[in-house]
Amino acid sequence: GIMRDRGYEPLTEIGREMLAKGREEGTAAGEVRGLRAAVATTCRAAGVSWTDERAAVVATMSAADLEALLAALVRDRAWPSH
C-alpha cells in the first residue's frame, strides 16, 4: 500500500499496545478535564462560590472523586464541609 511504499512499517504488537495505552490515558485525561470544568460550572450555576482555593483542590482530584463532588454539589447546592 501507499504507506509501506513511503517507508512506513505496520505497527508491531508492542507499538499497538503503546498506542492503545496512550489513547486510554488521553481519554482518561480528557474525562478528568471535563469533570473539573463541570464542577466549576455547577458551582457557578448553584450559587456556590468558586475560589482559587477550590480550583486548586479540584485540580488534584481523581475522576471518581470529581464525580462524587459533582453529585454532592447537585444534591446539596453547597461545597462539602468535610
Render pLDDT for 28-49 as a digit per residue (tens, 0 to 9). Answer: 899 999 999 999 999 999 999 9
Render pLDDT for 49-62 as a digit per residue (tens, 0 to 9). Answer: 999 999 999 999 99
Per-chain mean pLDDT for the chain: 88
d(CA 21, CA 43): 33
